[in-house]
A and B are shown apart, each in its own frame.
Chain A
Amino acid sequence: MLLRTEKICKYFGGLKAVDEVDFVLKKGQLKSIIGPNGAGKTTLFNLIAGAYLPTKGKVFLKDKDISRLTLNRVSRLGVVKTYQINHIFPNLSVFENIRIAAQVRKTSYNFWRQAASYRELNELAEEIMTQVDLQEKRNWPASTLSHGERRYLEIGIALATKPEILLLDEPTAGMSCAETNQCAEMIKKLNTELGLSVVLVEHDMSVVMSISEEILVMNEGRTLTEGTPREVSDNEEVQRVYLG
């Protein structure tokens, strides 16, 4: 068991955004969190990433309690999140966007040696640009990328920090149908070829059903059901929640 939450809760005032959810991720697993709008998917996701402090309950990474750690500390432990709305470094080049993320494990406070002289970081950045298919845009400012390319860069930045668990928040949001399929393929590839464990929050059902090994369905902050794509789509309660 790589990551698990134990009866985790997040209340915003009187609103129980996440209420006693047990989420388990095994090593190398690709697991999705789905649910209608306001089900608490993104909140759960942010609790795991360390962006929110839980109101109650705990998050464990390999039996280490990470519930009270901040976003940057959790990220250093290898649990790295991406954003639903693009969070990139717009005025820096694509290469620099990825290289900066890559240097986190190597150096941050060296203010004399030239950043460009760290060969292994440059190589890592090049490799990741190939993985997310942005080689051709290498030297372009990130602000000039198309929406789909920015979504890829978003993933590239997260990959550069060498995560063990990648938390993807609606990676295909706003993408065209073709782009969505391509992106789903890429995510699957990261999971199978690099052995990354992936947690996916996603709206697009076709993506979720085609690439996830397991799915957690949430409704009104609570776990509705959990299982393989097949089990979930056969579940009557899930159908009721989704189809009304």
Chain B
Amino acid sequence: MVNDNTNATKVQELHAPPKPIVVYGTIFVLLFLPLVLSTPLATEILIWAIFGMGFNLLLGYTGVLSFGHAAYFGLGAYSSGLAFRYLDASLPVGIAAGVLAPMLLACFIGALAIRKRGVYFAMISLAFAQMLYFMALSPLKHITRGEDGLTHIPTMAIFSFSLGKPLPLYYFVLVVTAIMLFATWRILQSPFGKLLQAFRENEERAKACGYNTTMVKFWSLVISAFYAGLAGSLNTVYLGYVPLTTLFWLTSGTMVMMTILGGKGTFLGPLVGVGVFLFLQNTISLITPRWELFVGAMFVAIILLFPGGIMGTLEEKLMAYRMKRASK
């Protein structure tokens, strides 16, 4: 009996939250990312990774597909940008604006549509995102500057420490990324995080256990909007302007692709997916302007090789190996 238990402990749940060493190890590795990649690319990867972590919480862990996550990312980017440009907001205030506005939007969209299942919810979120896109494009042109994007955003500083240079900016974003990685890890092991996973596994049963599954989905969406808004806000600080494309449906689509590429429902999946995607995009676009064609082909190839996404398939293989050993 005792022996059985020790054997059994080697078997892990599929897509279980990782050990602490994985979280700290990842942060440690990210410290040296600018040595391998160009600093702006590394910064971009971190920003999108934050976006991805939140998106993964919703798609990978709760099992809800939002096809309009650009709404939260873009609204975060614009809210910060507008606060920086027109109100001379400090960095923390601007970021707070960039986080709060998308969360409120998520409350609104969630209250309206979270009961809808699968593709209906995906379409409703897409519709809202496109609505925001066209609002920014034309009716609100006098403040958002429409197609040109919101420019003339001052360089930010934290504790009178300028973030104008690439390297300080990278490490600032890294600190935020580290906090969010840690937070994600905590959330996944909390009662709420466990509930998200149970929910994805079997919504009906979670309901029969007494859980109000609509509320679970709702809060998952709001938390996810927090991440997206934070990422959008950092993107504004990083670029020094807000491109209109942050609200475009292609941004949502790219996010879905990155998450699936990395492995939805895995802890490091978004980071890996974002890293691979942006690296390919940056490298190939140096050679040819038709980079989408090649990235697309590689996406197909990777998904054929790793049906569960890169990290997803690796985890499955690892688990199969462990179970084989444990049952020996």
Q: How many Å from the CB of B195 to the closest CB on chain A?
A: 6
Partner of A91, one of B15, B209, B211: B15
Report the Cα distance A153→B213, complex, angstroms.
Answer: 21
Contact assessment for A115 and B194 in the assembled complex, using a CB-CB cutoff below 8 Å:
yes
A118: which B residues are within 8 A, CB to CB? 191
In B184-208, the 8 Å CB interface with A consists of 186-187, 189-195, 197-198, 201-202, 204-208
Asked whether A87 lies within 8 Å of B205 as measured between CB atoms, the reply is: yes
Verify A111–B192 contact, CB threshold 8 A: yes
* Given A108-B192, A114-B189, A139-B13: 15 more A-B contacts, CB < 8 Å: A72-B207, A72-B211, A73-B210, A80-B208, A83-B205, A87-B202, A103-B195, A104-B209, A108-B191, A110-B192, A135-B5, A138-B5, A139-B9, A140-B11, A141-B319
Residue ID in chain B nearest A142 by CB atoms:
B201
Interface residues of B in 1-28 (CB under 8 A from A): 1, 4-5, 8-15
Rounded to whole angstroms, the CA-CA distance of A136 and B219 in the bound complex is 35
A80, A108, A111, A112: which contacts B211 (Cβ < 8 A)? Answer: A108
Return A177 CB to nearest CB of chain B, in Å.
Answer: 26
B186 touches A112 (CB 8 A): yes
- Contact check, B13 vs A75: say whether CB atoms are below 8 A apart: no
B197 near A92: Cβ-Cβ < 8 Å: yes
B111 lies within 8 A of chain A by Cβ: no
Judge if B323 is at the interface, Cβ distance under 8 Å.
yes
Closest CB in chain A relative to B275 CB, distance in Å = 25
Sample of 27 A–B contacts (CB below 8 Å): A51-B208, A72-B211, A83-B205, A89-B201, A89-B205, A90-B202, A91-B197, A92-B201, A93-B13, A96-B194, A100-B194, A104-B211, A105-B210, A108-B211, A109-B215, A110-B192, A111-B191, A111-B223, A112-B186, A112-B187, A114-B186, A135-B5, A136-B1, A139-B10, A144-B323, A157-B209, A161-B209
Q: Is the Cβ of B11 less than 8 Å from the Cβ of A100? A: no
Whether B13 and A96, one on each chain, are in contact in the complex, defined by CB atoms closer than 8 angstroms, is yes
Given A75-B209, A76-B210, A161-B210: A115 in contact with B198 (beta carbons within 8 A):
no
> B189 touching A87 by the CB < 8 A rule?
no
Q: How far is the CB of B116 from chain A (nearest CB, A)?
A: 17
**Contact A110/B191 with A72-B211, A136-B8, A139-B8 known, Cβ cut-off 8 Å:** yes
The 8 A CB mask of B156-193 against A (1 = contact, 0 = none) is 00000000000000000000000000000011011111
Query: Chain B residues in contact with chain A, CB under 8 A?
Result: 1, 4-5, 8-15, 186-187, 189-195, 197-198, 201-202, 204-213, 215-216, 219, 223, 319, 323
* Bound Cα distance A135, B5 (Å): 8
- In this assembly, does A31 line the interface, its C-beta being within 8 Å of a C-beta of chain B? no
A80 CB contacts on chain B under 8 angstroms: 208-210
User: Are B8's CB and A138's CB within 8 A?
Assistant: yes
Tell me if A113 is interfacial: C-beta within 8 Å of chain B.
yes
List 7 tightest A-B contacts by C-beta distance, closest first.
Answer: A75-B210, A89-B201, A111-B192, A87-B205, A139-B8, A76-B210, A104-B210
Q: Does A101 contact B (CB under 8 A)?
A: yes
Chain B nearest Cβ from A216, distance in angstroms:
22
- Chain B residues whose C-beta falls within 8 Å of the C-beta of A88 in the assembled complex: 201-202, 205
Chain A positions within 8 Å of B208 at CB level = 49, 51, 71-72, 75, 80-81, 83, 87, 158
Complex CA–CA separation, A68 to B190 (angstroms): 32
Interface residues on A, range: 35 or more
A99 interface contact, C-beta 8 A: yes
Q: Is the interface of B mostly helix, strand, loop or mixed?
A: helix
Min CB gap B34→A, angstroms: 31
Complex alpha-carbon distance, A159 and B194, angstroms: 18
Residues of A within 8 A of B (CB): 49, 51, 70-73, 75-76, 80-81, 83, 87-93, 96, 99-101, 103-116, 118, 135-141, 144, 157-158, 160-161
Query: Which residues of chain B are near A49, meaning CB under 8 Å?
Result: 208
Give A114's nearest chain B residue, CB to CB.
B189
CB neighbours (8 Å) of B323 from chain A are: 140, 144
Name the residue on B nearest A109 (C-beta). Answer: B192
Q: Take A108-B211, A139-B9 as given contacts and tell me if A99 and B194 are in contact as well, using a CB distance cutoff of 8 Å.
A: yes
Closest to A82 in B: B208
Q: How far is the CB of B188 from chain A (nearest CB, A)?
A: 9
A76 partner residues in chain B, CB cutoff 8 A: 210
Question: Closest CB of chain A to B2's CB: distance in Å?
Answer: 11
B190 contacts which of A99, A113, A138, A160 (Cβ < 8 Å)?
A113
Is there an interface contact between A91 and B14, defined as CB atoms closer than 8 Å? yes
Q: Which of B11, B190, B209 is A111 in contact with, Cβ under 8 Å?
A: B190
Shortest CB–CB separation between residue B152 and chain A, in angstroms?
A: 38
Contact present for A137 and B8 (CB under 8 Å): yes
Docked complex Cα distance between A78 and B195 (Å): 19
Expressed in whole angstroms, the minimum distance between the Cβ of B51 and any Cβ of chain A is: 19
Can you name the residue of chain A whose Cβ is closest to the Cβ of B212? Answer: A72
